[in-house]
Amino acid sequence: MDPLDQDQIPPFEPRAGRADRGDAFSTEFWDGTPVPPPSSGPHWDAAAAMGLDMGLLEASIRMTPAERADRLQAMLDFIATVREANPQPG
């Protein structure tokens, strides 16, 4: 078999990647052990170790400032609606 014969090379098929990042990187080594996520620095790693939802933060970072403002306004509108529907005594 000629190693340069293109007909003999199987097509590339990316393995499942991290759904939250949308990439095609493998999530496990060849023997099935999980690949640790890349480090984003000691502060990020410490926050993740404390149990903070880093996926939520990553999703927020991917949004534009206008998208974040729209989401915040929608939340504030919802809170106002709930407060109007359930007035507090006093």
At 43-62, the pLDDT tens digits run 888 888 898 888 888 888 88
- Give the span between the Cα atoms of 58 and 75, in whole angstroms: 19
- Give the span between the Cα atoms of 77 and 66, in whole angstroms: 16
**Torsion of the alpha carbons at 45, 47, 49 and 52, rounded to the nearest 10:** -130
This prediction has a pTM of 0.46
**Is the pLDDT reported for residue 67 higher than 90?**
yes
